[in-house]
Structure 1
Amino acid sequence: MLPPWRFLLSRWPWVALVFVFTSAIIWAVLLALIVVTLLLLPIWAILLAALDRRRLQLLGLPRQASGHVQVPREERRHWLNIRLTEPATWREVLSLLTGLVFGVVSLTVLFFEVLTLAVLIAAPIVVARSGTALTLFGDVTLAPDGGQWWRMALLALLALALFAYLNGLIAALHGGCIRWLTAPRAAEIDERVASLTRSRATIVDAHDRERRRIERDLHDGVQQELVAIAARLGLLELELASGEIPAARAALGAAQTQTERALVALRDTVRGIHPAVLSDRGLAAALEELAGRSVLPVRVEDHGFPRLPPAAETAAYYFVAEAVTNATKHTAAPRVVVSLAADAHRATVVARDNGHGGVDLAGGTGLRGLSERAEALGGQLAVHSPVGGPTVLTLEFPLPTVSAHGEVGDADPAR
């Protein structure tokens, strides 16, 4: 720590003054913005933390690294979802709120300092021009004879020294809070990187499994039907060559039936890839169509479910499809009830059956893959399935932003 005379003659009083002044300005600007855009508080916190890490260099501290995990380019559409799940973001929100408190203190102190210096400088001038004594405070009176000017000058110098230390104290305390709250935590970053890596690997595996399923469906379904059509058309050619019209008509009818089967198989395969009704009319309509094709009765209860980004709607659709498939194959449940609901912040999909329960999220690849996909999109999947039932599967997603024109956006700004 510098001795008083070296501190007062160094650059640190000016650096502290600049830091305190910028804190007051930032507080005034942020207060107006936050009142209008309270829901954007985490974004303001992220931006302010980036600015504060640069302001720390005013205090002679090294440039501090961000506490956030680096978002890969291919994941930038999920930037906001990733940031909202990071502890570093909420520490930065706390840093912003702490900064508002220091901003109020800084603004008050600066006002007091300017007012005090203005009084100490203006008082002798006012007394000299008016020719009358001026009572400053208590019994301290400034006479017009000019003999006490040196006292005012001494008070001004003492006030400057006091203000330098006061500004330095405020800057040091605020800088320490910023440094502690916005500093990276190695364990958190390692955990987030590992989580993102697992999510990406799981999604890649899910894509590979889906590709193999499509290949298998095409081979076992559509391809076999097309081979049968080719064989029947060959028989039709032979019948026509031999002149047996009734047999030719029978072969033609069989080929037509086989063609219709091939179209049905192809339609089922395409529907399994991505239902067209999901893109056109939303999740509720797609689930109604799924219920119409299900062997097990499915009741869909739509409580004002909104449109979600395509990736979230697709994940929710396959979540319900997986729940219905599991209930059909592994339980004796009489029906599956699907409930779609949303509040101001989150959309919720609940699939419930009265089977024997005992579903384990870690026991199968279907629900586990959907859980990883939900986490990658900022959502979460919860399973409540005690032995004996019922089984309740809950999928939640954060609601996207809605533009002024009512268009649903992804709510994920690029980094």
Structure 2
Amino acid sequence: MIASPPRLRSPGRRAPRLPRPHRDDVLIAAAGLCGGLVLWGIGLDTKAVGLLPGAWVLVPLVVTAGLELLRRTAPRVALIAGTVALVADQFTAGSIATVLMFTDIIYAAVVYGTPAAARRIPRTTVFVTVAMTVGFTAWLQTVESLLIGVATALVAFAPASTGALVRNHREAAETARLRAEQTALLAEIDRTQAVTAERSRMARELHDMVANHLSAIAIHSTAALSLDDARTSRDALAVIRENSVAGLAEMRRLIGLLREGDGEREPAAAPALDALDALLEQARTNGAPSGLRFTLTDRRDAGRQDGAGAEAAGVGGTGSGGALPAPVELAAYRIVQESLTNALKHAAPGTVAVELGRTGRTLDVRVTSPFGDRPGPRAPGSGAGLVGMRERVALLDGVFEAGPVTTGDGADKVWVVRAELPVAPARRAGEGNTTR
């Protein structure tokens, strides 16, 4: 018969290592063993005689001391083997060191064991204490037999209940620590989201305020450079200066917003729909060289009065239509401003129409501009305008749409920006519109 070759262990696999005992467990085991040896050396035992006299008392002592090394790493094994060692100690002269180390093993089994063991061990010790008290009282029928029950409670129930209290306090402290960490994490998330939201808000404000003026400056500076005409250049420079001054004023207002709460100055008022007339007048000046005309139709009064108001068209006509929330007014103004800026950059010659309407619960904003084939924009853009408008509407839980729309005859197309801004909270959950 050919002997099979020995099985080689894979170099990548290692034999599992037993967990190393804790340093405190080593000290407890050494102290218990040394104390038991001293007591045995001076002849101090728990009983005068035993079935196994002499050095037999050292066997449970050594076993219990060795089990102390497992009180954290294998508390269940230590408890079972320690119980056997304690029972064996009763057949010898007995050592108080063995008993004390066994009480520590019970305590450790509750503190470091599984949650099920932590619940089961105290109940078991209560049952053992009661059974020992009743059994020995019925057997010996003496009052002194009650001392056996007291001794059993001190050895078993007392350390088990102490371990349960310590474990409960540790779990409560760990729960509080985790809750504190979770609170700190949520606070950090809230802070990050607040910073991100504020940065997005300031980015929208900066884009909407500056893009309009810089686009006009770019368009008219291009015209001044391309046309060799003194009057055209002079008119273009006048428009450039006007937009530069207006842009500087807007930048100062933005700085005022950034300094809110520092006590240096009152923040500048946010633009509202009452300023649309001036905004369109500026757009007419900036768009005239490109063949653009601008009109404003305000139906807010008609919407609130069920048709009793009159339509206002042209330059004037921004009726109040009742007070609107400040965020709604600012969002509507910025949407119109950004739409006019995009029209200056991309629209074909024609009419740019701004329409405002109000129902009982929403403010409708609609900007229509000619959409034709152009070789390129009149001024460079970042592409953030539509994103900013969409974000503004989403923050108010409204509806936003932007894109080309074919007119009735199908021959021409117009670019339509439409926003529905809620002016009052929804009455029922789920009534809010969604942003498309």
When the two structures are superposed, what TM-score results if normalisation uses the length of structure 1?
0.32
When the two structures are superposed, what TM-score results if normalisation uses the length of structure 2?
0.30
Bigger helix fraction: 1
